[in-house]
Chains A and B, each alone.
Chain A
Amino acid sequence: MTPPTVPPAVAESLLRRSIANREWRDAVSGDLREEFSDLSRRRGPSVARRWYWRQAVGLALRFTTGRLIPMAAPRRPMTIPDIDTEGRSGWTWLNDGRYALRALAARPALSGAIVLTLALALGANATIFNLADALYLRPFRFAEVDRLVVVASAPDNDPLADRSSVAPADYRDWVRESSTLTDFAAADFWDPNLSEVDQPEQLAGFRVSPGFFRALKTAPAIGRTFLDEEATPGRDRRVVLSHGLWVRRFGADPTLVGRTIRLNGEPHEVVGVMQPGPSIPYGAEIWAPLAYTEEEWQERRRGWLLVLARLGQGLSVGTARAEMRAIVARQRQQYPETHATREVSVSGFIQAMRDAGAGPFLAIWQAAAVLLLLIASANIANLLMARGTERQQEFAVRLALGAARWRLALQVMFEGAWLALLSIILALPLAALGVEGMRRGLPPGVLRWVAGYEFMRVDWAVLGITALLGAAATLFFSLMPALQASRAAVSDTLRQGGRTATVSRSRRWLGTALAAGQVALTLALVVGSALILGAVDAAVNGVMGFDKHHVMTASLTLPDRPYAEREQRRQFVSRVLDRVRGMPAVESLGAVSFLPYAGSSSSRPIYPEGVELTPAEVRQADFQRATPAYLETMRIPLFEGRGLTDADHEEGRQVAVVSRSFADRYWPGQSALGRRFRIAADAPWIEVVGVSGDIMHDWFMNQRRPTFYRPYAQDASLTMSIVVRTTGNPLDVAGELRRAVAAADSDQPILELRSMEQVVADKVSGVNYLARALAVMGGIALLLALMGVYGLIAYLAARRTQEIGVRMALGATRWQVITLNVRQALVITGLGLVVGTGLAILLGRVMASALFGLVSLDPLTVVAMVVVLGLTALTAGYLPARRAAKLDPTTALRTP
């Protein structure tokens, strides 16, 4: 078989298009083809094809930059369209565009620096915009998502409120009474343990009312969803799987539908598999029917359901909200006991279901990225203006020959447009890299919960925003040089004969303002990233109230069917602890219901003895169940009384250890020992036997919440974490911990197996992530600003070479010459720092309020950054000034 002799068509067409002269076009492309077929025979078609692309692109570039064939005469200067074409073929856009490209190619270093700077800034913006779009603006993209609302028993204005808050009896009332909302659906958390598979696993699932899938307007890929009669106890052992789970755990087995799988130790029939798509709600992978008994449906006091509904035809969220408020107002009258303070919120699905915490993060990122773009644009404007001054001669000649001033301005704009186009092209792969980096940076355990994660990729929206920002930046940075070009004074410039002169006053001020602006914006950005870095450091290494080092943790949730009895839970925990306790590296170990920093907690209303509280006065405290050695294992100090002991068994006195803030809240100034409280108006009394230190359970709230610890033996929970303090590396006991859980119950999965240090690191990974990304942007900004100051001073000094020569010839000292230029650097830095400090304080305030008190505006940080930036900026200005002063006066005078 003869190898193909036809080169890549696209490359050939590119080459042919780039050559204007027909004979040359044939000769060159023919030559290349001849060599191509020869190479293809000798080295194979793929080598030849790559070779051809290289040659074609190289030649095409040479031809289009006009250095080759279109030039008739040797070494002719670049064609200037005014002279070249006016009176013959007239003016065309093409000519101006081509000339602009050639002008840029003539200064490759400058053009390259500009394109790279702009591409970096645009890439950063595109990356952040994509994150904001995917995770916050449009995390759910399915049909009619804007008609879907979430109704919750929570205040309307609190984006962080728990939406899973509706009492079953309320839900039933609403379905009956509302006329503005249709297709109501309710969902309840249900995390079943999948067993009888190679590795047991806890799945994220929900029990949902049969109308759930109808409300979402989604259909199964295989099988069906739930029937109405399956929402009854006893008939509810049915599940629908998400497409992801079906592929991940069941190898996309099409015969799975109709078979049973074992969940929480009981068989469940798989009735359907959904289409690939968003996992609603909250990363759900499996759904079962919500099958409450009639008694359970009567619950009105406590609420836990997540409620979805569709807006009626043509109705707005406002209308539905008004109606729901009226309904709840009626309920308040009807059930004063339970509903005195009940509220209701109706919010759009996206607003309710997106990650509310992501908003401020992304806003800060986006602001930083825009700042970076502004800094880059200011830098480019200064570079282009410096270049514009160099070209005054060219412009003056063109004006003298009759070019219109607007043509010169347009010329400069064209160059700007080319730069922007090249930058946008380069920014897209950078953005793709950025988005990919962001995806990889997310901890895998978190991914499933990140709504909109699948939209993190470069798409049309990213392309659009990049192009838009690129165009805006172009307008910004080429407008001033364009105006400058159009104002070129013909006779003065020509008469100067190209000799350098001091830059005009207005030009110098504009340059100073731009450079100072860069310093100011950079200061704001570095202060911002320093504040966040400080906050992350405080969260990871600050005072937590416990010792995170040398502790291994395993978190799991026991299913409620086999573990309905408290005794069974106790036995499970003892079996696990006993087995691990025997290991040599283990110092102490315990179990607790909710691990600090792990993201979940439980709270109870507190009724201290001897105080009458109205329902509005009752406050909540964090509720923990712990085994005796838990406090010791976590090194949480005990201030008063005793810790929990093995003597606190089920039949013993009901006791608790409370945290110091708990004691201070209810018995200020007195000893809490021996005091009693209860967690419901009719619950048994619990006696305080000890007072412990406070811990930071959730750094994000940045406060110590009053907490009480109950003995695990007296109140065994289903959710728990085993904590093990080791003498060596905590990860060394991970394997044994896993084996111990498997030995206690082979069907029981471990949800997460992490060292305590990892738990802390994972928890702050989001902010850590933010801090690192900001630090990178701050670093780039700093570099750009220093480049800007250096460039401007070097340029101004170069323009003054003659003046310096004259001054030195007349006896000026070197120091006087240096101050001449350094003065300018002082003005830039001073101006930039004053404005920048204001900006930084403003940004610090915004961040402090956006990040819920996590970040506080630390004056010391601001001062430190001002000093650092001031010194580096002055150095950047001093270096070129000193170089200028080293000139030999005679050389300086002779310089043209």
Chain B
Amino acid sequence: MPPKTPYLGEFEYAVLLAVIHLGDEAYAVPMRELIEGRTGRPVARGALYTALERLEAKACLRSRMGDPTPERGGRARRYFSVTPLGMRALKSTHGALANLTKGLEAVLEQP
């Protein structure tokens, strides 16, 4: 039986989108910058790590360790990518939101 499509919280939704945006460069530092830059809201590092951990536990994300680099004091980066389940969750959340907003474009896109 395929796992049930999980429900995504708002912040989890944002994290998954950021991972897709960043592609091969998806690790915590640029992710945080991207979310902050695009949403204009501050993102606590602790909160980001929590969300990443939780999404991985829900099997929406998978991670791999990169190569150690000297600028990180010989520590490797942890890169994330979205799993098929994560993609489904993203689509279903997006779809749900899109359904809700349908017909309200006039209101929502007013300056």
Per-residue CB contact flags for chain B residues 39-62 toward chain A (1 = under 8 Å, else 0) read 000001110011001100110000
Q: How far is the CA of A670 from the CA of B104 in the complex (A)?
A: 112
Per-residue CB contact flags for chain A residues 9-41 toward chain B (1 = under 8 Å, else 0) read 000000000000001101111111111010000
B71-A37 in contact (CB<8A): yes
A26-B75 in contact (CB<8A): yes
User: What 9 A-B pairs come out closest when comparing CB atoms?
Assistant: A30-B75, A27-B78, A30-B72, A62-B46, A26-B75, A74-B54, A31-B28, A33-B73, A33-B72
A27-B75 in contact (CB<8A): yes
* Interface status of B88 (Cβ within 8 A of chain A): no
A31-B27 in contact (CB<8A): yes
B54-A34 in contact (CB<8A): no
Q: Can you give 20 A-B contacts (C-beta < 8 A)?
A: A5-B71, A26-B78, A27-B27, A27-B28, A27-B75, A27-B78, A28-B28, A30-B69, A30-B72, A30-B73, A30-B75, A30-B76, A31-B28, A58-B46, A67-B50, A68-B53, A69-B53, A72-B57, A74-B54, A74-B58
* Interface status of B29 (Cβ within 8 A of chain A): yes
Residue from A27, A34, A59, A74 within 8 A of B46 (CB atoms): A59
Q: How far is the CA of A31 from the CA of B79 in the complex (A)?
A: 11
Q: Point out which of A23, A31, A32, A37 has the most chain B C-beta atoms below 10 A from its C-beta.
A: A31
**Size class of B's contact patch?**
20 to 34
* Interface status of B98 (Cβ within 8 A of chain A): no
Q: A62-B46, A68-B53, A74-B54 are in contact. Are A33 and B71 (CB under 8 A)?
A: yes
* Interface status of A6 (Cβ within 8 A of chain B): yes
| A residues adjacent to B (C-beta < 8 A) | 5-6, 23-24, 26-35, 37, 55, 58-59, 62, 67-69, 71-74
Q: A72-B57, A74-B58 are in contact. Are A31 and B50 (CB under 8 A)?
A: no
* Interface status of B22 (Cβ within 8 A of chain A): no
B76-A69 in contact (CB<8A): no
Q: How far is the CA of A28 from the CA of B28 in the complex (A)?
A: 8
Q: How far is the CA of A71 from the CA of B54 in the complex (A)?
A: 9
Given A30-B72, A59-B45, output 10 extra A-B contacts at Cβ < 8 Å: A24-B49, A24-B53, A26-B65, A29-B73, A31-B72, A33-B73, A34-B29, A34-B72, A58-B45, A69-B49
Q: How far is the CA of A59 from the CA of B58 in the complex (A)?
A: 23
Distance from A22 Cβ to chain B, minimum over Cβ atoms (Å): 10
Q: Point out which of A62, A67, A73 has the most chain B C-beta atoms below 10 A from its C-beta.
A: A62
A26-B45 in contact (CB<8A): no
Q: How far is the CA of A27 from the CA of B78 in the complex (A)?
A: 6
B50-A68 in contact (CB<8A): yes
Q: Cβ of B73: which chain A residues have Cβ within 8 Å of it? A: 6, 29-30, 33
Q: Cβ of A6: which chain B residues have Cβ within 8 Å of it? A: 73
Q: Cβ of A30: which chain B residues have Cβ within 8 Å of it? A: 69, 72-73, 75-77
Q: Cβ of A28: which chain B residues have Cβ within 8 Å of it? A: 28, 49
Distance from B13 Cβ to chain A, minimum over Cβ atoms (Å): 15
Distance from A706 Cβ to chain B, minimum over Cβ atoms (Å): 79
A-B CB contacts (within 8 Å), total count:
66
Q: Name which residue of chain B comes closest to A75, CB basis.
A: B54
Q: How far is the CA of A23 from the CA of B49 in the complex (A)?
A: 13
Q: Cβ of A32: which chain B residues have Cβ within 8 Å of it? A: 45
Q: How far is the CA of A67 from the CA of B78 in the complex (A)?
A: 20
Q: Cβ of A73: which chain B residues have Cβ within 8 Å of it? A: 57
B77-A27 in contact (CB<8A): yes
Q: Name which residue of chain A comes closest to B73, CB basis.
A: A33
Distance from B55 Cβ to chain A, minimum over Cβ atoms (Å): 9
Chain B stretch 65-87: residues in CB contact (< 8 A) with chain A: 65, 69, 71-73, 75-78
Q: Name which residue of chain A comes closest to B29, CB basis.
A: A31
Distance from B35 Cβ to chain A, minimum over Cβ atoms (Å): 14
A29-B75 in contact (CB<8A): yes
Distance from A265 Cβ to chain B, minimum over Cβ atoms (Å): 74
Q: How far is the CA of A34 from the CA of B78 in the complex (A)?
A: 13
Distance from A5 Cβ to chain B, minimum over Cβ atoms (Å): 7
Distance from B99 Cβ to chain A, minimum over Cβ atoms (Å): 26
Q: How far is the CA of A35 from the CA of B69 in the complex (A)?
A: 14
Q: How far is the CA of A28 from the CA of B27 in the complex (A)?
A: 10
Q: Name which residue of chain B comes closest to A38, CB basis.
A: B29
B53-A23 in contact (CB<8A): no
Q: Cβ of A55: which chain B residues have Cβ within 8 Å of it? A: 45
Distance from B79 Cβ to chain A, minimum over Cβ atoms (Å): 9
Q: How far is the CA of A619 from the CA of B46 in the complex (A)?
A: 82
Distance from A796 Cβ to chain B, minimum over Cβ atoms (Å): 39
Q: Cβ of A31: which chain B residues have Cβ within 8 Å of it? A: 27-29, 45, 72, 77
Distance from A30 Cβ to chain B, minimum over Cβ atoms (Å): 3
Q: Cβ of B72: which chain A residues have Cβ within 8 Å of it? A: 30-31, 33-34
Q: How far is the CA of A30 from the CA of B78 in the complex (A)?
A: 9
Q: How far is the CA of A34 from the CA of B28 in the complex (A)?
A: 11
Residue from B45, B49, B57, B76 within 8 A of A74 (CB atoms): B57
Q: Cβ of A29: which chain B residues have Cβ within 8 Å of it? A: 73, 75
Q: Name which residue of chain B comes closest to A59, CB basis.
A: B46
Q: How far is the CA of A58 from the CA of B46 in the complex (A)?
A: 8
Chain B stretch 1-51: residues in CB contact (< 8 A) with chain A: 27-29, 44-46, 49-50
Q: How far is the CA of A114 from the CA of B39 in the complex (A)?
A: 40
B71-A26 in contact (CB<8A): no
Q: A27-B28, A59-B45 are in contact. Are A34 and B50 (CB under 8 A)?
A: no
